[in-house]
Chains A and B, each alone.
Chain A
Amino acid sequence: MKVGDLIGLALSRLGTGKLRTALTMLGVIIGVASVVALVSVAQGATAGISNQLQSLGTNLLTVSPGFTRTGATRGAIGSATTLTVDDANALASLDGVAVTAPELTTSKLVIAGSQNETARIIGTTPGYLTVFAYQMWVGSFLNAASVDHKLRVAVIGATTADNLSLTDASIGSTIYIGGLPFELIGITQPKGGSTTTDDQVMIPLSTAHELFIGSNSVSAIGLSATSQDEISTVSAEITATLEQRHGITNGVDDFTIANQAQLLGTVSSVSDVLTLLLAGIASISLLVGGIGIMNIMLVSVRERTREIGIRKAIGARGRDILSQFLVEALALSLAGGLIGIGVGVLASFVIGSYAGWGFIFSPLTVVIAVGFSLIVGIVFGVWPASQAARLDPVVALRYE
């Protein structure tokens, strides 16, 4: 028999029982659609999280002080005040470090006109803008002169500006931080992600030291490596430099270094597991769909026993009958697979635009889904088809 004849037979057969065909395909449609949609959702979520991580800063490394120890009680990371402005200056001169931004964080009441809020106050240097990937909306950021001369100037985040009803027209006005007057010189653009990154007030580091914290310590040092590849080298350099400066010889550091690559790595390994899990769940529905096909094919072989007998009497060989039923099963599963891809792509588009990470279309998923549905058709079609092929024509012709 020719392949074209087989396909013709299968299509005309599926066309004669449209409701049954549709219901049989439904299992495969749901299976393939959920594989495509869930994998796409998992990839979209991963991409969304990665984007947010990227927005935290460019090739970012953050050095935090270690913990304090009060008797047997260990304090939180960052509770010690072992990092200083001098440490930051030393790190700035390392190879592979593009920009540094020491931070001194505190919390003060901020008043602007009739509005007020208790905001996070960050004393820092001009490098902060680059290291943490902020962009100015209006005005300008802190410059070297403002740090050198301990000027009372402030740049505020977009959320803070909203909370205090400050707009681009407010540049140059006076706001009060911890009761002291500051000139508002700029407002940053919102970064999105968590709202706290946009709810803060940045003032010169030297000003913060003089007015709010009477020491030389910093809460953290942000660094931007010259490239992604340099991050681990730079990290080692920082460790060596700080151990030397702090006189640490036993390897028990009084600081910790966190970098973006670690975070990204964690996120992508989590999302790989997530993708596998979702694909696994979806595959189960594909399996159930396949069993549905096998069920309907077995019923079909039983119902069409007499037809099989007739076909054998007029010259069909076992393998002709086998191919006929197998091609029917394949047509069912492939048609279901193709419709399923359509439904899955549509679903991932809707979910993607609703969740805000956009539409991620992965051709590989589609190829795998089509391959999967073909395998389902073969695996679950072969047994019923071979049952049909093995029927004794004498028995089949007498079957009522």
Chain B
Amino acid sequence: MSAEPGEPIIRLEEINRIYDTGKVQVPALIDVNLDVANGEFLAIVGPSGSGKSTMMNILGCLDRPTSGLYILDGQPVDELDDDGLAFVRSRSIGFVFQSYNLLPRTSALDNVATPLMYQGVGRKERLRRAQAALERLGLGDRMHHEPSELSGGQQQRVGIARALVTEPALILADEPTGNLDSHSGAEVLDLFRDLHAIGRTIVLITHDVDVATAADRAVHLRDGQLQEAVPA
């Protein structure tokens, strides 16, 4: 099911997402076309209200487009049912959130191992892989700490370890530096660059043009429409 080399890992064709509030229909995405190549590091930049969150939900298979075609890793996903979307999220997508979204009262190790649990991986194997992922991110000595015992930067690195542990086709980061001080934020962006260097596909969604410079390519969202050219 994996995309061939050179094939886009994400293909969006004429994606529309319209919120139907009953009385008015609010278009959040209008005729969005986008290709993301395998191994690319793309930033999607836009101010609040531009449709960023909707873009993130559609790309992350948390929501379905009202119309249009979405092919992720060689598989059309725009018409999957809830279980089908859950399966795609489990196998193909790793999320990194602005507010980390770690499970509370759960150790870093168990947090990172949880996506593997939903894949049906046995406990021993998933703890081994979670430990390896945490060690790779320099958190080998924080494995048994709960999120409340970790700094923001450490929590975000646990979040990235959780996104990486399933070896997903796509890492989807939503304002990953938004809650961090500039030092920790820079560290996290360096991490993404390292991941990009070893061939990971990363889509980073942000309102911050400076953050977007970490990526190879940036596209801009404005009022639900995508503009390829980077304005000066």
Confirm or deny: B79 has a beta carbon within 8 angstroms of a beta carbon on chain A: no
Interface residues of A in 300-339 (CB under 8 A from B): 306-307, 309-320
CB-based nearest A residue for B60: A313
Choose among B86, B117, B122, B162 the residue that contacts A312 (Cβ–Cβ < 8 A). Answer: B86
Are A314 and B123 in contact (CB-based, < 8 A)? no
Are A317 and B86 in contact (CB-based, < 8 A)? yes
Are A394 and B57 in contact (CB-based, < 8 A)? yes
Confirm or deny: A139 has a beta carbon within 8 angstroms of a beta carbon on chain B: no
Are A313 and B117 in contact (CB-based, < 8 A)? no
Q: Mark A1-40, 1 if CB is under 8 A from B, else 0.
A: 1101100100010001000000000000000000000000
Are A393 and B105 in contact (CB-based, < 8 A)? no
Taking CB atoms, residues of chain A closer than 8 Å to B65 are none
Are A5 and B117 in contact (CB-based, < 8 A)? yes
Taking CB atoms, residues of chain B closer than 8 Å to A1 are 117-118, 120
A316 to B82 CA separation, bound complex (whole angstroms): 10
A307 to B103 CA separation, bound complex (whole angstroms): 6
Are A315 and B62 in contact (CB-based, < 8 A)? no
Confirm or deny: A278 has a beta carbon within 8 angstroms of a beta carbon on chain B: no
CB-based nearest A residue for B94: A314
Are B101 and A317 in contact (CB-based, < 8 A)? no
A317 to B166 CA separation, bound complex (whole angstroms): 16
Are A314 and B114 in contact (CB-based, < 8 A)? yes
Are A318 and B118 in contact (CB-based, < 8 A)? no
Are B123 and A4 in contact (CB-based, < 8 A)? yes
Taking CB atoms, residues of chain B closer than 8 Å to A312 are 62, 86, 89
Smallest beta-carbon distance B217→chain A, Å: 25
Taking CB atoms, residues of chain A closer than 8 Å to B57 are 394
Choose among A4, A5, A317 the residue that contacts B82 (Cβ–Cβ < 8 A). Answer: A317
Smallest beta-carbon distance B28→chain A, Å: 12
Taking CB atoms, residues of chain A closer than 8 Å to B91 are 315
Choose among A4, A306, A311 the residue that contacts B114 (Cβ–Cβ < 8 A). Answer: A311
A315 to B63 CA separation, bound complex (whole angstroms): 14
A249 to B51 CA separation, bound complex (whole angstroms): 105
Smallest beta-carbon distance A313→chain B, Å: 5
CB-based nearest B residue for A320: B118
Taking CB atoms, residues of chain B closer than 8 Å to A320 are 118
Given contacts A2-B120, A16-B105, A313-B95, A397 and B62 within 8 Å (CB-CB) = yes
Are A316 and B123 in contact (CB-based, < 8 A)? no
Taking CB atoms, residues of chain A closer than 8 Å to B86 are 312, 315-318
Are A316 and B62 in contact (CB-based, < 8 A)? no
Confirm or deny: B4 has a beta carbon within 8 angstroms of a beta carbon on chain A: no
Taking CB atoms, residues of chain B closer than 8 Å to A315 are 86-87, 89-91, 115, 118-119, 166
Confirm or deny: B141 has a beta carbon within 8 angstroms of a beta carbon on chain A: no
A356 to B198 CA separation, bound complex (whole angstroms): 81
**B60, B87, B117, B119: residue with the most chain A Cβ atoms closer than 10 Å:** B117
A313 to B56 CA separation, bound complex (whole angstroms): 12
Confirm or deny: B20 has a beta carbon within 8 angstroms of a beta carbon on chain A: no
Taking CB atoms, residues of chain A closer than 8 Å to B162 are 314
Smallest beta-carbon distance B202→chain A, Å: 17
Taking CB atoms, residues of chain A closer than 8 Å to B181 are none
A255 to B50 CA separation, bound complex (whole angstroms): 103
A1 to B86 CA separation, bound complex (whole angstroms): 13
CB-based nearest B residue for A9: B117
A73 to B117 CA separation, bound complex (whole angstroms): 88
Taking CB atoms, residues of chain A closer than 8 Å to B62 are 312-313, 393-394, 397
Taking CB atoms, residues of chain A closer than 8 Å to B90 are 314-316
**B86, B89, B105, B114: residue with the most chain A Cβ atoms closer than 10 Å:** B86
Are B119 and A5 in contact (CB-based, < 8 A)? no
Interface residues of B in 22-70 (CB under 8 A from A): 57, 60, 62-63
CB-based nearest B residue for A315: B90
Confirm or deny: B104 has a beta carbon within 8 angstroms of a beta carbon on chain A: yes
Smallest beta-carbon distance B32→chain A, Å: 17
Listed by A's residue number, 7 A-B pairs whose Cβ atoms lie within 8 Å are: A5-B117, A12-B106, A309-B101, A310-B101, A314-B118, A315-B115, A315-B118
Contacts beyond the supplied A310-B102, A394-B63, A397-B97: 12 A-B pairs with Cβ under 8 Å: A306-B101, A313-B62, A313-B101, A314-B90, A314-B95, A314-B115, A315-B90, A315-B115, A315-B119, A315-B166, A317-B83, A318-B83
By a beta-carbon cutoff of 8 Å, the part of chain B in contact with chain A is 57, 60, 62-63, 82-83, 86-87, 89-91, 95, 97, 101-106, 114-115, 117-120, 122-123, 162, 166
By a beta-carbon cutoff of 8 Å, the part of chain A in contact with chain B is 1-2, 4-5, 8, 12, 16, 306-307, 309-320, 393-394, 397
